[in-house]
Structure 1
């Protein structure tokens, strides 16, 4: 069974996956719409994968 454990402090959260062994999943940041646009633009310039959803955007 796999589950995600999140730790939040202020505008940052860190998530770990816990299954057969604990693994790092992601770091999350709460940003403004303007910051979001700038971050996605920069990630696109770097050729990174951007997965935008209604509530969350994942960049890898």
Structure 2
């Protein structure tokens, strides 16, 4: 049995989000460097902590 099949649905979901974040991070590093990628992720974490992420969401 593989490790991913032993995970709960919640853990598989979290792993999928981590994979997406890793992919976006690699794209940011490739386009603008490590400092930009790290700064963006730190800023995103601060926005989440301050509950500003919903306010910054563009309308559909």
User: Would the TM-score normalized by the shorter structure come out above 0.5?
Assistant: no
Tell me the TM-score normalised to structure 2 length.
Answer: 0.31
Tell me the TM-score normalised to structure 1 length.
Answer: 0.31
**More helix per residue:** 2
Higher alpha-carbon Rg: 2
Flag the structure with more relative contact order, 1 or 2, with Cα contacts below 8 A and sequence separation at least 6: 1
**More strand per residue:** 1
